[in-house]
């Protein structure tokens, strides 16, 4: 290229405050058009040489800023210098927040907005945004959260627009945490901007702030749910685990042998109550595996309880199963009802192979004489009860499956409950009522 002409370097430029004679330094030379005198608080129009005073001395000139003017920090891949500060709030002075104007000569301007200790990094947009209740930006839908009439309470530093204490605007906030989309209507023009929620610690680290800031209060409109990401991760993880679990269970079930070792009908008399009956010695195959003991009896509005003791004939080690079958039914005002079952199953796990006997002790409703029906003779002979006993080696076991399944549901469910309560608290702060939400956005009058 041809001659390269260099102009005066773009460092800080100073001029004299037309109100108090103090020195005002300008950082964004040639861009800033308003500056606040740090000594007297007057707001000066610096767009041209005339240096008109926009407003004289603001009341409180000394405000402790979280990020003092001139502080630099590295955020989103660029160095930012704090060059302006604005405090804005609602018209009734019930709430207010801070807006720090950041400057980088190459990247332009950004804002750091601090409200109740929550921070948002904001960029002004030069883009047409559809004026609806849920506008879209960058492929994300935003939901209308609040609509307020606001004013400027206090300014410090320099600005690339004309600013004035008391200047009003109407602001609408739309959220898609951690993002926020804001529409600001000054009455003359509409400005859209988009922000991203930033944890205070990140700001402190970026700007090298040593002092402790008071922790954030409440939930910010665009504060991401602390479990939002974990929730989706937990749901995905649980779903993957469930699929694995189901596949594993199907494989397990299809590989079970279901080998019936005993299938017999046993009759007992009430006179034998308390005395165990012994089965023939039987052989349980394989080194180890589960063993299902099933009792079935056609009890009808009655019950049967069988205690089965499995005794290893060589080691005398034993294992027990208590089987209860009870079945009741009848009619009431709601119609017919039935409860219980005529079948009872119990699975003994890890039963070593070998020679075994079962000792069976039974008690039953049928052993109790019915007054006026059972004869003393019958009692003396013994009241009978019949049941089917079936012993099966290597059956499908679903209990572990269901336990694992429930555990897999618990973690995402707890997160979801937490997440929805967080979202509820967020939207409790919204000034927009769902029912009365108007389609047209009100302009500031």
Partner 1 sequence: MQTYNCPSCGAEIKFQSSISVTCVCSSCRSLIVRKDKDVEAMGKMAELPDDISPFQIGTQGVYEGTHFGLIGRMKIGWEDGCWNEWFMYTDGGKKGWLEEAQGFLAISFEETLPDSIKKELQSPKLGHFVTIDGKPFSVADIKETECISSEGELPLVAPKGTQSTSIDLISRDGGFASVEYDKGSGSAHLYVGEYLEFNQLHFSNLRELPGWKMPLTPEPALIGNKPHG
Tell me which residues touch partner 1 (CB under 8 A): 1-13, 27-31, 33, 47, 78-79, 103-109, 126-130, 160-162, 189-190
Which residues on neighbouring strands pair with residue 25, listed in sequence order? 14
Q: Minimum distance from CB of 210 to partner 1 (Å)? A: 23
Q: Minimum distance from CB of 19 to partner 1 (Å)? A: 21
CB count in 10 Å sphere of residue 201: 11
Cβ closer to partner 1: 26 or 366?
26
For residue 410, whether the previous peptide bond is cis, meaning omega lies within 30 degrees of 0, is no
3-state SS string for the chain: CCCCCCCCCCCCEEEECCCCCCEEEECCCCCCCEEECCCCCCEEECCCCCCEEEECCCCCCCCCCCCCCCCEEEECCEEEEEEEEEEEEECCCCCEEEEEEEEECCCEEEEEEEECCEEEEEEECCCCCCCCCCCEECCEECEEEEEEEEEEEEEEEEECCCCCCCCEEEEEEEEECCEEEEEEECCCCEEEEEEEEECHHHHHHHHCCCCCCCCCCCCCCCCCCCCHHHHHHHHHHHHHHHHHHHHHHHHHHHHCCCEEEEEEEEEEEHHHCCCCEECCCEEECCCCCCEEEEEECCCCCEEEEEEEEEEECCCCCEEEEEEEEEEEEEEECCEEEEEEECEEEEEECCCCCEEEEEEEEEEEHHHCCCCCCCCHHHHHHCCEEEEEEEEEECCCCCHHHHHHHHHHHHHHHHHHHHHHHHHHHHHHCCCCCCCCCCCCCCCCC
CB count in 10 Å sphere of residue 265: 11
Q: Computed over its alpha carbons, how large is the radius of gyration of the chain?
A: 40
Q: Minimum distance from CB of 75 to partner 1 (Å)? A: 14
Cβ closer to partner 1: 3 or 334?
3
Cβ closer to partner 1: 115 or 163?
163
Q: Minimum distance from CB of 110 to partner 1 (Å)? A: 9
Q: Minimum distance from CB of 1 to partner 1 (Å)? A: 4
CB count in 10 Å sphere of residue 202: 14
Cβ closer to partner 1: 53 or 245?
53
Cβ closer to partner 1: 31 or 242?
31
Cβ closer to partner 1: 57 or 129?
129
Cβ closer to partner 1: 55 or 312?
55
Q: Minimum distance from CB of 141 to partner 1 (Å)? A: 14
Q: Minimum distance from CB of 43 to partner 1 (Å)? A: 14
Q: Minimum distance from CB of 6 to partner 1 (Å)? A: 7
Cβ closer to partner 1: 29 or 269?
29
- CA atoms of 292 and 392, how far apart (whole Å): 5
Cβ closer to partner 1: 47 or 410?
47
Q: Minimum distance from CB of 127 to partner 1 (Å)? A: 5
Q: Minimum distance from CB of 33 to partner 1 (Å)? A: 4
Cβ closer to partner 1: 186 or 259?
186
């Amino acid at each position: 290229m041809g001659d390269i002409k260099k102009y005066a370097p773009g460092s800080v430029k100073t001029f004299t405050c037309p109100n108090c004679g103090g020195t005002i330094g300008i950082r964004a030379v040639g861009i800033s058009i308003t500056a606040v005198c740090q000594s007297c608080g007057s707001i000066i129009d610096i767009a041209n040489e005339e240096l008109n005073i926009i407003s004289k001395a603001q009341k409180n000139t000394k405000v402790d800023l979280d990020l003092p003017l001139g502080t630099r920090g590295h955020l989103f891949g660029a160095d930012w210098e704090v060059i302006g500060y604005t405090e804005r709030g609602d018209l009734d002075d019930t709430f207010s927040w801070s807006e720090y104007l950041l400057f980088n000569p190459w990247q332009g301007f950004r804002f750091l907005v601090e409200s109740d200790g929550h921070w948002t990094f904001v960029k002004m947009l030069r883009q047409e945004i559809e004026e609806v209740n849920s506008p879209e930006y960058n492929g994300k839908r935003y939901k209308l959260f609040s609509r307020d009439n606001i004013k400027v309470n206090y300014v410090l530093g320099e600005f690339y627009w004309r600013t004035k204490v008391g200047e009003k605007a109407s602001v609408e906030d739309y959220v898609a945490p951690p993002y926020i989309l804001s529409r600001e209507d000054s009455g003359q023009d509409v400005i859209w901007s988009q922000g991203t929620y930033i944890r205070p610690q990140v700001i402190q680290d970026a700007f090298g702030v040593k002092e402790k800031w008071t922790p954030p209060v409440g939930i910010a409109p665009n504060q991401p749910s602390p479990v939002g990401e974990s929730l989706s991760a937990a749901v995905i993880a649980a779903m993957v685990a469930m699929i694995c679990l189901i596949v594993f269970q199907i494989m397990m079930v299809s590989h079970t042998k279901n080998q019936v070792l005993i299938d017999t009908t046993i009759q007992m008399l009430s006179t034998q109550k308390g005395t165990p009956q012994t089965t023939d010695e039987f052989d349980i195959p394989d080194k180890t595996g589960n063993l299902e003991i099933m009792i079935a009896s056609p009890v009808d509005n009655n019950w049967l309880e069988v205690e089965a003791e499995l005794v290893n004939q060589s080691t005398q080690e034993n294992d027990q199963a208590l089987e209860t079958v009870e079945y009741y039914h009848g009619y009431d005002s709601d119609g017919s009802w039935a409860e219980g079952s005529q079948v009872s199953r119990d699975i003994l796990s890890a039963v070593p192979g070998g020679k075994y006997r079962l000792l069976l002790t039974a008690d039953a409703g049928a052993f109790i004489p019915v007054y006026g029906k059972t004869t003393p003779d019958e009692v003396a002979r013994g009241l009978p009860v019949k049941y089917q006993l079936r012993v099966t080696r290597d059956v499908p076991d679903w209990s572990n499956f269901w336990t694992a399944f429930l555990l897999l549901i618990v973690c995402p469910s707890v997160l979801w409950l937490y997440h929805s309560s967080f979202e509820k608290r967020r939207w409790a702060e919204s000034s927009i009522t769902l029912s009365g939400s108007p389609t047209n956005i009100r302009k500031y009058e």
